[in-house]
Structure 1
């Protein structure tokens, strides 16, 4: 859909943190065209920006096109978020913006991933990190969740073996990562700590 070499076009490089929606504009009516451009794409833009509501839009594709992108992505005013390396603490599937899995690959526990900007929420409320164009991982698999122990708890490395002699005291806060694992003994455990495998029984945490 992107036109190259058209008279009157100015070519701009898209700067964004992910996919940029392309809109159809008719008067003051702005609708999603269901297409996108990506960070780093060079696109043809035409004429002066227009303003609809509080947002500025720039025409793309041709001089008489009804397709637009938000001007901030092509006028240099948008500054992509910094990328930060973080450790994945729990095996993590990759999801799209609709919380549907992207492929079958997963990020393995204790691997390193570059996240883009701060954690954000998907439409269903899930807290995630962006790792690429329309690719997200669950923030809980990286940052974890602080939980309160309701009972003294041992730390395990398997269903039968303790990781150490340490006893975690009731009332203390422990950071757990991701959803629980169910061991061969049928009991559920949260992963904690690392890089060695460490687990605490789910039953030891306050409901």
Structure 2
């Protein structure tokens, strides 16, 4: 089945965690914790930095060379063809994925996906980065439940977001000395503290066990004193004890850091 893993494809998976769960659902892995282990790997090694950056900016461009357009933004050797464009034709770009190696795939309105090098996107057509039309974002997993703030650093009336949610983030800003991501492309005034997404490395002062959100110990393995781990956001209280979040549903006692 060529489509067995279709839920993991870029255009069908809202986030790395959705793709990991889809692999599991497709029956790839026998380990029932496969999805959560994969998600932890993605977050602890910051593998999301290899994710394509999505932009929803619309502009017109001219086709540089004639050829097919494709149904998906994936590798064109595995994607069915959708349509055809001719050199010199004017097209409207509505979506762009920029990959970590600099390559781009663009979606042409009504036509399908094309490789960036097949388009002329000279400075005359592409909008400048400063126009309000530019909306490029990066998908991140929120690791720690978080309040939404305004651009002045005040708590917004919007309701808090729970940990585990995949969100598009739009650029890092500093407000009152703390780093935030803008989280709503439409409203410039919604920000979440960056440490809830990216975390910061801390060294263990003592050997430490992992706990779940109920304060129950997970497994027998322990993290060793002196090892460094990513800690997300501020400490949280579980059954009168303070813990740091170190992964999705993974906690370490605050006193160990």
Instruction: Tell me, in whole angstroms, the C-alpha distance in 2 between the residues paired with 1:86 and 1:159.
Output: 25
Q: Deviations over 1:164-187 (max 9, x none)?
A: 212000000011111111122x22
User: 2:256 is matched with which residue: 191, 204, 207?
Assistant: 204
Q: CA deviation at 1:120?
A: 2.0
**1:154 aligned partner:** 209
Larger helix percent? 2
Change (3 A) 1:85 1:204: same
Change (3 A) 1:102 1:155: same
Instruction: Tell me, in whole angstroms, the C-alpha distance in 2 between the residues paired with 1:136 and 1:99.
Output: 8
Larger strand percent? 1
Which structure's CA Rg is the greater one?
1
Q: How many residues align?
A: 127
Q: TM-score, normalised by structure 2?
A: 0.46
- Contact 2:215-2:238 within 8 A present in 1 as well: no
Instruction: Tell me, in whole angstroms, the C-alpha distance in 1 between the residues paired with 2:170 and 2:160.
Output: 18
- Counterparts of 1:41-52 in structure 2 under 5 Å? none
Q: CA deviation at 1:81?
A: 5.5
Q: TM-score, normalised by structure 1?
A: 0.57
- Contact 2:244-2:253 within 8 A present in 1 as well: yes
Q: Which runs of 5+ in 2 are unaligned?
A: 1-56, 58-126
**1:127 aligned partner:** 179
**2:19 aligned partner:** none
Greater Cα offset, 88-97 or 157-166: 157-166
Partner of 2:170, secondary structure, is strand
**1:137 aligned partner:** 192
Partner of 1:94, secondary structure, is coil
Instruction: Tell me, in whole angstroms, the C-alpha distance in 2 between the residues paired with 1:183 and 1:107.
Output: 19
